[in-house]
Structure 1
Amino acid sequence: MVQPANVFLPPGSSRYCYKFKVRGRWYRGPTGMTDRREATKFAHRLKAQAKREALLHPSSNFSDMSVRSAAARFVREREDELNDREVPSLSSLRNLKTSERELKMVVEWIGGDTPMSRISIDSMRMITARRKEEWKLTGQGSPLLKTNVTTGIREPVRVSNRTVNIGCELMRSVHIRARDVWHVPVQPIKWRGLMAKEAGPRTREISIEEEDAIRALPTFREGYGPCFSFAIISGLRLDNFVNLKWSQIDLANREIKVIQKGGREHRVPIDDELMKILLKEKGKDDEFVFTYVTQNTYFNKMAKRQCIRNERRRIAREGFTSWFDHIRKRLRLDIRIHDLRRTAGARLLRATGNLKAVQQLLGHANIATTAKHYSHIPLPDLIALQDRTHADIKRRRAEMAFLFQEHAAFPRVTPESLIDR
């Protein structure tokens, strides 16, 4: 059965647009009509014409493209899309660089000159199988070593299934864009069957005892200490809180504005605890909120500059990451920086039971994301809920017993009394 051409009203427009596909190629555009029936007829005529042209000139409809060219074009177009935003988020730009590196590796394995039309499900199976055999690397490019709990020996570890799926998802994006936007002839691929099974969402949060231990360390000093405290209360992501500027803060209205992943604006309310932190940092620097005073003179290899002793510097992303890794290793805690955000959401949920409030604090666009990552109930809370359940059952039993005592003149209904009747 031939699928009819689709017509729809774009948001804020009274004129219909059409959208249909012929031999793997999408056709989109305006009809210029306000009547749905007339717009549908117009779209049907265009679709019939596209089918005739595809039959008469099959080779002129498509042009192939190498995998290298497709990957480069994909990255370039994604970068243009991000730059078109008024304020692109730093995390989006950094993720684009990560995607570029991942795609470069996949292209090398497939072969840069391989045509997109020859990429098949077998090609992608080879890529995923090879990626699973890769070692997880450190920032210096050497294999990451982790202590084996059983043997106590530090051993290299394989990349996670999530890392494997990232390369597959990127190639899927390139494949779909080549098919639907660039009109490149590609083979159909069932991408769902290529994805490795990932672990469930991480539920680790920082306990109060662990937080107190971190605060007791000598390294919990000016700049980094307040930055840590701010993050565990506000629930902001790393890029948002280390790059926070005074221009984003409205102390009078008690509000902080940040640009989240995806370019969305998010507003964080300033409660009393956050206000205390911000007021202590006020006046130390005109631009950035969180700064520190250098304790030694040294050459910063990352920034490629000389740092002078007693010089006030902003806290960079790499600096906070290094500081956090130091305290994590010193206390032997299995925690990550993103666990600060998870802790803020979990504590609010535990105290209020209000999932909507957690969504607003963290700035999730969809409450399903909040429910997936933050609605878990740790064991202590589950015990408390069970105790409340038992107490409620005891209370109801006592009420029923009192009710029967008050109305002793009425016979109690039992299964035996019903049978006697």
Structure 2
Amino acid sequence: MSVFIRPDTKDGVYSYDFRIRGRRFSGSTGRTTKREAKQVEAAAKEAALALIVSEASLSGPDMTVEAALARYWQEVGTHHVNADNTLRAMEWLQNHFGATTMLHSIGTSEVAVMVAKRRGEYVPSQRKPGKKYKTAEIRRRVSPATVNRTATQPLREVLLRAAKVWKVRAQEIDWGQHLLDESQERVREATPDEEDAIMQQVERGYDVALEFAFQTGCRRAEIIALVWTQVDFFNRQFTVIGKGNKARTIPMTESTFKMLWAEQGHHPEKVFTYVAKRAVKMKDGRLLCRGKRYPLTLAGFKSGSRRAIERSGVKNFRPHDARHTAATRVLRKSNLRVVQSLLGHADVKTTTKYAHAMVDDVRNALEAATTTKTTTASAPTAVNSLKR
């Protein structure tokens, strides 16, 4: 239908009424001449068509938070090296937003609220319920890095995948406004004596894995996930799967070769195992038999390393510092590019935190080069200068 004057109108103003792709558009042209009314109608049709095209590019099937997180877990998260952490992040996001919340309703404001809630939470207590402790527990809030890795970044990955891969409706968000600034990671190197003290306190099974971390600088998750198909004794090298599911190959030293060779036959798939000290039923329903070997778990490796550090008396040292120790020692014998390759850093800027080792070496070299005569000779005083 072209422009027309409605029967009930008395001012002679033309109206329009048309359909585009099944949608109806109608209204007043505000004009009393048919020629001008048709011009207004043509402009209205162009605007309507542009609106439909725009909505089509932005729209798509709707999806709930629960469905999106479940699909992301199946397609991506379950294949992460640290899949347990990914699953916990998915569960936290679902609890926060609600399972039935529509994904397209999450915008900048909702993300800001999520970040505020997560950074206000406390680090889970490591103390056992019912056990009495001599000192009161000091609770601390989660760090900015934890907020980024357990909430903001996982949500970002889900929303981006929903929009770009699944073609599901999702809002565009400037994630740079929500990622928190992280403090520079501290680098703690163990002295040879400290390493020996820690290794003397490690339980059997965990000792090989921890020594492997000191020698290679591999992350705990990389060590736990190492399987025999990734170990190449013929070429004396092994391959680990690091962050971002990226593989890197590391050559074996003679010590590492002997260490891995001795672990053969303990398990058909996993490299690092432990012997169960007692029969116990696990949370996943598995029954462990005393005296049998089982693959190390990330939680077990972490707690076993922490207990060894506590018993050793070494202060201000974390299990992750075994990686820092290996990197610092390698840097003293090579350069930042070598350490970057060893640790699997995508950007050498990440590796520069180990540059302190080079600075210390330069200082020690300068001290060694300084002669006794130079250090003991007294500098000329102002009085002596005046006498001259």
Q: Same fold (TM over 0.5)?
A: yes
For 1:229 and 1:328, the matched residues in 2 are separated by: 13
1:119-149 Cα shifts (integer Å, max 9, x gaps) = 443333333222222122247998xxx99xx
Shift of 1:168: 2.7
How many angstroms apart in 2 are the aligned matches of 1:386 and 1:130? 51
**1:20-49 Cα shifts (integer Å, max 9, x gaps):** xxxxxxxxxxxxxxxxxxxxxxxxxxxxxx
**Number of residue pairs matched by the alignment:** 322
The counterpart of 1:360, out of the listed 320, 338, 341, is 341
Are 2:107 and 1:99 aligned? no
Q: Distance in 2 between matches of 1:185 and 1:238?
A: 35
Give the C-alpha shift of residue 322 in structure 1: 2.5
Matched, 1:342 2:324: yes
Pick from 369, 383, 389: which aligns with 2:350?
369
Q: Distance in 2 between matches of 1:124 and 1:102?
A: 14
1:284 and 1:58 map into 2 onto residues whose CA distance is: 61
Alpha-carbon contact 1:75-1:96 (below 8 Å) kept = no
Conserved in 2, the CA contact under 8 Å of 1:223 and 1:292?
Answer: yes
Alignment check: 8 A CA contact 2:65 2:94 kept: no
- For the residue of structure 2 that corresponds to 1:318, the secondary structure is helix
* Residues 54 and 177 of structure 1: CA distance in aligned 2, closer, same or farther (over 3 Å): farther
Q: What is the CA-CA distance between 1:314 and the residue it aligns to?
A: 3.3
1:100-122 residue CA offsets vs partner (Å, 9 max, x unmatched): 123213313xx9536725x4433
**Match 1:123 to one of 70, 90, 110:** 110
1:80 corresponds to which of 75, 100, 117 = 75
The 1:140–1:116 alpha-carbon spacing in structure 2 relative to 1, beyond 3 Å, is farther
Contact residue 65 and residue 116 of structure 1 kept, 8 A: no
1:170-210 alpha-carbon deviations (Å, 9 max, x no partner)? 34444545555636373x64432333332112312333222
- With over 3 angstroms needed to count, the CA separation of the structure-2 counterparts of 1:244 and 1:132, relative to structure 1, is closer
Provide the C-alpha distance between the structure 1 equivalents of 2:316 and 2:189, rounded to a whole number of angstroms: 10
Partner of 1:90: 81
Rounded Cα–Cα distance in structure 2 between residues aligned with 1:153 and 1:210:
28
- Aligned residue for 2:304? 323
The structural deviation recorded for 1:233 is 0.5
Aligned to 1:214: 198
What whole-Å deviation, never above 9, does each CA across 1:322-369 have from its counterpart, x for those lacking one? 21121123235433332222221111002x141122122223333333
1:292·1:313 contact (CA, 8 Å) conserved in 2? Answer: yes
CA RMSD between the two structures = 3.8
Asked if structure 2 preserves the Cα contact closer than 8 Å seen for 1:328 and 1:334, the reply is no
Structure 2 residue 247 is the aligned partner of structure 1 residue 265: yes
Please say if residues 331 and 357 of structure 2, whose CA atoms lie closer than 8 Å, have aligned partners that are also in contact: no
Shift of 1:251: 1.6
Q: Describe the shift of the 1:285–1:71 C-alpha distance in structure 2 as closer, same or farther (beyond 3 A).
A: closer
Shift of 1:61: 4.5
- For the residues of structure 2 that align with 1:89 and 1:183, how far apart are their CA atoms? 23
Partner of 1:155: 138
Q: Could you say if the C-alpha distance between residues 196 and 65 of structure 1 is closer, same or farther in structure 2, counting changes exceeding 3 Å?
A: farther
Q: Equivalents in 1 of 2:76, 2:294: separation in Å?
A: 33
Q: Indicate how the Cα distance of structure 1 residues 288 and 317 shifts in structure 2: closer, same or farther if over 3 A, else same.
A: same
Shift of 1:284: 4.2
Contact kept, 8 Å, 2:90 with 2:154, in 1: the verdict is no
SS state of the match for residue 90, structure 1?
A: coil
2:101 is matched with which residue: 113, 116, 131?
A: 113
Residue in structure 2 matched with residue 408 of structure 1 by the alignment: none
Amino acid at match of 1:195: L
Instruction: State the Cα deviation string for residues 390-417 of structure 1 (Å, max 9, x = none).
Output: 57xx8xxxxxxxxxxxxxxxxxxxxxxx
Alpha-carbon distance between aligned partners in 2 of 1:312 and 1:228, rounded to the nearest angstrom? 17
Is 1:192 equivalent to 2:180 in the alignment? no
Aligned amino acid, residue 356 of structure 2: H
Q: Deviations over 1:237-267 (max 9, x none)?
A: 2223234333322222111123223232221
Query: 1:268-290 CA distances to partner (integer Å, 9 max, x unpaired)?
Result: 11111112212333344444333
Residue 236 to residue 95, structure 1, CA distance change in 2 (3 Å): same
Contact 1:64 1:115 (C-alpha < 8 Å) held by counterparts:
no
Rounded Cα–Cα distance in structure 2 between residues aligned with 1:227 and 1:80: 30
Aligned to 1:54: 50
Query: Residue in 2 aligned with 1:309?
Result: 290
Q: Indicate if the aligned counterparts of 1:131 and 1:164 stay in contact, CA closer than 8 A.
A: yes
Which residue of the partner structure matches residue 23 of structure 1? none
**Alpha-carbon distance in 2 for matches of 1:365, 1:97:** 25
Rounded Cα–Cα distance in structure 2 between residues aligned with 1:96 and 1:185: 21
**Alpha-carbon separation, structure 2, partners of 1:189 and 1:305:** 43
Q: 1:54 to 1:207 in 2, by over 3 A?
A: farther
Cα distance in 2, alignment partners of residues 98 and 301 from structure 1 = 18
Change in 2 beyond 3 A, CA 1:65/1:259: same
Q: Which amino acid aligns with 1:308?
A: C
> Conserved in 1, the CA contact under 8 Å of 2:239 and 2:248?
yes
Q: Pick closer, same or farther for the CA change 1:238–1:105 going to 2, 3 Å.
A: same
Conserved in 2, the CA contact under 8 Å of 1:237 and 1:338? Answer: yes
Letter matched to residue 129 of structure 1: A
The verdict on how the C-alpha distance between 1:185 and 1:374 changes in structure 2, with shifts beyond 3 A counting, is same
